[in-house]
Structures are given as C-alpha cells and as structure tokens.
Chain A
Amino acid sequence: MSVLPLAASRPAARLSQSASAQKAADTPALRALPKVRRRQRGLMVGVLTLLIAALAAVLATNIYVANAQYEVVQLTNEHRDLAHQNQALAQQVQFLESPQALSNSAVTIGMVMPATAGTFDLSTGEIVSSAERASSSEVPSSFVSTPTAAQPDLAAVEVADPAASAVSGLLGTGALHTLRQPTAGDNGAGTAAGVPRSETGLHGGTIPAPDLTN
C-alpha cells in the first residue's frame, strides 16, 4: 500500500503548490501517523496472541484426543482379554458339568448307582416302599465318551493359579484382585492393566502402537 502525502490531496495546497510546497506538507502528516501505528501494533499483538492461544488449544485437544484414543484401545484390549478369559473359564465349567464328566467324577470319588429309593406317604405316615442298599459293584457304564474338544481349553486357563496367588484367597478382596490383575502369561492376560504388550515394539517410544485391526 502506498501512502500519498497529505498535501497532494488538498485542493488548496495544489493551488499554492509552486509557492509554499514545503511549509504546507510538513505539519499535519507528522502528527497523524504515529497514532495510527500505535493502534495497529496493539491490535497485531492481540491477534497474534489469540492465534497462538487458539493453536495451543487445538494442539492440546489433539494431544488429549490422541492419548485418549490409545487409552481406549488399551481398555478395549483389556476388556477383550478378560472376556476371553471369562469365556474359557465358562467353557471349562460347562465341560465339567456335562453328564458324562459328572458321572466320571462321581465314580472316581467312589460313588455308585442308586438302588431303589424309599418313599413315605406324609399324609398317612406310612412307608410306601423301603429303600434298598446300593451295591458297590453298580458303577455307571461309560459308553458315552467325554467331549473331545474339552482338553485344550482345560489347559488354557488354570483358575487355581491366579486364585492361589491372590491377596486373600478366592473369596473377598482376593477375588477382586485376581480379576483386576491377572497373572502374567495366563491366556494373554499379562497384556492387560496397562502393561505394554511387548517392550520390543516401542521403537524407542513410550506408547505402544495399538493394533485395532485385530
């Protein structure tokens, strides 16, 4: 932007241009300009501050969102690991609850098939049929095989280990502790609770690269 001398815009000055050009040009120009500059400087400082503040805010939000994203991924992984552990334990229970498995367990602790049960008629107080003594040779047959898929899953999670290393046994706070901090190495649970998946994957950084693609 080019600033014309004030004198040039005045018709009166134009008329006496040749006579007193220097006198007319000097006085008003010098007084007006510094005022304008001072005002502009303040404005520019303000705008710059605002800009920097806005940038800093955007940066801070961005960093926060990015960090929160890592946290979300980590919590998602933790949730998935725990869900898997829960699933494996539930399966273990289901396999152990199957009739064949129950029958086998019963036989191993020495149980036999029941003989005739005794019955009373409560309204008359009579014995309807008397009970017989069960024979120790009446062991249930085992033609129906136990589920084949049971074996690998039974090995996957050993519920006794985390329970034993818990703070105070299976009940009370110990159970909670076990749930929150699973023993490392069991069913991938060691990756939970904020522990990095693998130190080698950091490439010098402090935040592990999460893989959501799984």
Chain B
Amino acid sequence: MKIGRRSFLSFLIGGAAGTALSPMPLKLTDDSAIWTQMWPWTPVPEDGEISHVNSTCTLCPGHCGITVCKINDRAIKIEGMKGHPVNDGGICLLGVSGLQLLYGPTRVQTPLKRVGARGSGRWEKISWEAAVSEVVKQLGDLRAEGKSHSVGLITGSDRGTVPQLFARFMTAYGSNNVMRTPSMRDSYELTLQRMHGTRALPGFDFENADFILSFGSGIIDGWGSPVRMFKAFSGWRSNHGKVVQIEPRLSRTAAKSDRWIPVKPGTEGVLALGLAHVIIKEALYSSDFIDNYSVGFEDLQRLVLDKYSPDNVAAITAIDQKDIVTLARDFAAASKPLAICGRGRGSVSGSLDEFMAVHALNALVGNINKKGGVRAVSEIDYINWPEVQMDAVAAAGMQHERLDGAGSKNHPDTRSLLNRLPAAISSKEESSLQALLVTGANPLYTMPGSTAVKKAMAGIPFVVSFSSYMDETAQNADLILPNHTYLERFEDVPTPFGLQQPVTSLARPAVEPQFNTQHVGDVVIRIAKALGGSIAGAFPWEGYQTCLKETLGNKWETLMTKGFRLDDNDRAFAGQMTFDTPSGKFEFANKETGRMPQFSPIKIEGDEKLYPLVLVPYDSFRLAGGYIGTPPFAVKTVEDTVLKGKDVFVELNPETARALRLREGQHAILSTPRGQAKVKVHWFDGIRPGVVALPRGLGHTAYDKYLAEKGVNFNELIGPVEDPGTGCDAAWGIMAKLSKA
C-alpha cells in the first residue's frame, strides 16, 4: 500500500481531531499561564513566621525607635516603635525606606583595596586579616616615624561608644585630629555653654509649647528629630498652637505655619534682636526671670535699644516695621513661647551670634527650664572608661596643635572645625595629614566646597573608609573596611537633638549580617590590639559587644527588653532654676567678655556686581542630605518641580526670572564663585525676588542608579565662611548668577 498525500493529510486531520479531544490543549494553555507566574525575576515574598525586633534608627540624628518586622530571617518592613519617647510609633520616609539600604546594591560587601587610580572604581576584594594588617602597617609605620599626629579621623558624631572608641584609639595612638561632621549642634552647644554654663544639647518641650518662632528651622523639613517634630507640629495644629516661620523661601514648614515672614536671607539674627528691642522697650519680658535668674540683661538692653530699633531692623530685614512690633508682642504674650534656629535641617554649624540672639528671646520671656520651655540636656554619663595610659609617642603626638585649630587660642571652646581641614591640608606642599580614617561620615559630599575637599583628600596618602555603602568618600579611599548597617549591629544611641528628656536607646541587629562586613567597633579594637603596647592596653575588651555591655552596666537589661531607657538621675524639668554659669544664673552677657557679643551678620562669599543673586539651599523630607544616600523609595517621591530626569530645578521668583528672561523649565547656568552647574528654572512665587534656591541631597556621584548623577550637589557651589567667634562654618548661602544655557 502506497502512502499518498491524501493519506498523509488524513493522518494529520485525524491527529488534529484526536488532539482536540484530548485534554492537552487545555492543560498546556493552563500550564503556560502558570509558567508566566513562575519567572525567576518575579518577586515572591517570603512565607513564614512573622517576628518583630525593636531597635533604633541611626540614619539621621533623630534617633527614632523602630520595630523591624521580619518573616523568617528576612526583614520586610520597618515601623516606628510604639511608646518610644522620641517618635511613639511614627516613622519618616527615610526610615521606612531603610530596608533598601540593607538589601540594596550600594552596600560594600567585603573589605576592598584600591587597585586603580583613586576614584576609578577598581577594587580588589581582600580578607579582613589583610585589610586590618594593611591599616596596622600604615599606622604603625607613621607612628614609628613619630608622625602619629598626622593621622586624622572624621566621624559622624562624637557621642556614644563607637565614636568614643575611635576617639580613645586616637588618643592612645597619639593624634588629637578627631573631627566630627558639623551641624547646628556646634552652635547650640556653645550657646548653652555661654548662657546656661553647660555644654549640652538644647531640650525643647515642643509638645507643651504654644507659640513657635522658627528662624528658618525646617520644623517639618527634617530639623531636629524629624518624626517628633512632625508630631509636635500636628499637636500645635489641633491645640491652637501658633507657628511663625521666618525664612526667605516658602518651605513646606512655612506653608503650613500660621504666619510666614519672608525675611531677607541672612538677616534672621537681626530680626531676633529687633524683636528683643520691642520686648524690652515695651517691658513685655518676664521680670521674674530677668530679676531673679539672669545676669547681663542690661548689656542686652543697651545693645538692642541702641542699634536694633524696629525701623533699623525693618531696613535690614525688609520686614515691615509694624509686623516686627506685632510679632514681638504676640511672642511675649504667648504663655509658652519658644524661639528656635538652625536653618533647614540644621546641617550647617551657623553663626553663634545668631543662635545667642534667638536663644535670648527664650530667656526674655522666661521660658527656660519650664514645662513648655527650653533647657540644657546633659549627656547621660555612662561611658566611664579608665583613662588612656599614653606612651611617649602618644603623649608627644597629643602635644601637637590640632590641624583645624579647634581649641586653640582663637577658638578655645570649639571642639572641631572640619570646615577648615581642606585648607589646612592643601596649604602645605606635603599633606599635613598622612592618613585619614572616616567613619559614619561622607565629607566628600556633605562638606561645603566639596571640590576643594576632594582635592585636599587626593593629597592624603592613605585614606580608610569604614562605610557600609559605596559613598563618595569610600569611592575615593584606598581601603574600605565595611561596617554592618544599622540593621545588623549593636550600638548605643544617645539622646537625639532637641529632646527635653535624656534617653539612651539601643540599636540592635534585626537581621544577621548579609555580607562579609564587621562591626566598626570590633575593627577598631582589633586594629588597636594589633598595634600592641599601650594602644592595645587601652582596649581591654574582647570585642565591641563586651565593651558595650560592660559600659552600659545595669542599663543593658532595660535596653535589651525595652529598647530605650530614660535617665533616672535627670534633674526635674520644671522649676529647677539652677545654672552652671559662674554667676549661677542665666547669662545674657558672658562674664568673661563682659558684654553681649556685638552682633555681626555673616557676610557670604561673592561680589555683588559679578553675582547679583543670592543662592540658598533648602532641605526637604524627601531627600536625605547627610552621609546616607536617599534610597530609591524616597527618590521616587521627589516632585517634578524639583527633579525631572537628571535635571534639578532652581526656584526663582517670577519677577527675577522675567528680568533675567528665563522661562519656566528653561535650562540655565547657575554660577557662584565656587563653581557652576546646569540647572532648570522653576518659577516660584514663594521665594523672595533676587534669591535662588537649590535643594540639598542631589548631585551624588556615588550610590545606586536611582540617585547617582541626578541634579547638582549644592556643596559644590558653596564654600565655608567662618564665624568669627567660633571658627565654624556659618555660610547660609552664596552670591550667584543665572544665565541662559
């Protein structure tokens, strides 16, 4: 039998009919549909037992209590810890995005050694032994040459056991070049030292205050402890508290406040003195406080009555004379008025005169050490380690002057002047720093004049970063010894800025370390032990956890169970009118100088003829400005009028924009004496004419693709301007010009 074409077709038709009557077409269709749900890149959430770990967020100085929700070993969500004295269940955008910092691609996963040129991004993965011995060799050699004082340390903070272990290491090693990242804390500490006699953080009882006079502080833009401030702000809304925001730009805080006073930028301190003038002249001050608990009132009186009459102040600040008088009366009439300062998030040290002028307002109305008032919150004193036994090399090293000049004759009370470091390094042919250790900080991005910082750092022969993330500083280091992230490590967390009650919190591992990282505390102890001699002797602990447990003593148990601990020894907040000043009273004028500091406004950099505009930065909740890079969740929330694609917008008053012939959305070149950048123009009625505003937290060259190369780093356009009193950076802006691109 011959198989013909017909037979063949017939076979096929029969096959088709049979197939149609078999279950396979339906089955395979169904299976292929399910197959599409099984692609390996389809995220499948972990299934398993839910557990919670209480810890503390250390992404910003707000130090909120957090509860990390886990399924099996995977952290799946970060929530605010209920009942925590700082945030009571609240959390901010950055805090909630923290898991992206834990699991995201910006982690440094293992110790790295640079193999290419600095910043070229070519690294060799090395073992922890090799990394530690490299540091030990370099530091050991410098010490042997008697150059221990040429080693510097930059930390994010100087409070808590980890920064203190570093400081201890530096002392035992023989260098006093320990510098912390600047912030408004610098000026507030000095203000309280001068006026209260205590070098301490200010504690504001915002929850019980009813009139907030903010000199540019971004109350809901990240100032102080952000979540707490948010909650306090909501409290004022519902309890008829008043908020007056004094700043040249209609920030989110200004927009939500009861009154916005668009002051001429940089004249906030003058306005404070103008208000003091009205309060004194009209005798609106608290005579009880002035008479019984203060000295130096007369000096203040003389100063403000002489120079800061409302008409003078009106001319300087461009605020109507009547408004000044009304504002002063309202402030003094409130039962719990609070005046605060520190622009935006408070990331610049600021002018001491300005801080003192603002704080004097709190004293004038007598709202000091009272419910709803402000007080000095001393550090909880639990770090009582035995004094370091220095050997001869260390003692000699410690005799050297600090490179930044902090604590010297000119600035005896200032403890750290990181802003001066780049100039100090670059001024000499051979770098005065031979080695630099950086922990919890990203100076290459966060310091004003970041171009100069980068240049200075290029001159330092050996740079070590302890960063968990590949940030700008880590990118330009020689060696990276990655720390665990805050969700993988133990650490004591001191009282956050602005809180009125001292509290110690505990950060503890929510998950096992994800990569080959080590706790920076362990690494310091390890380096110290390897250096031997008296350095090893200063670190009797086996590791960081032993150190922390011993240091916290009986606090440890409470911290492990509750997550935080309020200080028992804290002096009662209400009523105690004792001050640690020589006079035992609040001092408007310092006894040593004998007078209220003559207020001198900070003059910003730039020639008005070449640069007719004033460029100021602004902070927002959506962009992290510190050493932590904004995680992708948060970047997504940035508005189209701030960042579009890779372009950042500068805010410009339509009046100024028209004069410059710049349309909305048009590209422009923004130049300052420090640098220039391509930006887009956004017309904004909420900014004073003649002022340009640029957001902080953009223009990263490091971190992931969601953040890097977007916008402009404000710090590249500005440089530090020294406060004559403290030496700290007090630049609130810089002169600038805008031209068509």
Whether both chains belong to one complex is answered with no
B residues adjacent to A (C-beta < 8 A): none
Interface residue ranges, A against B (CB under 8 Å): none
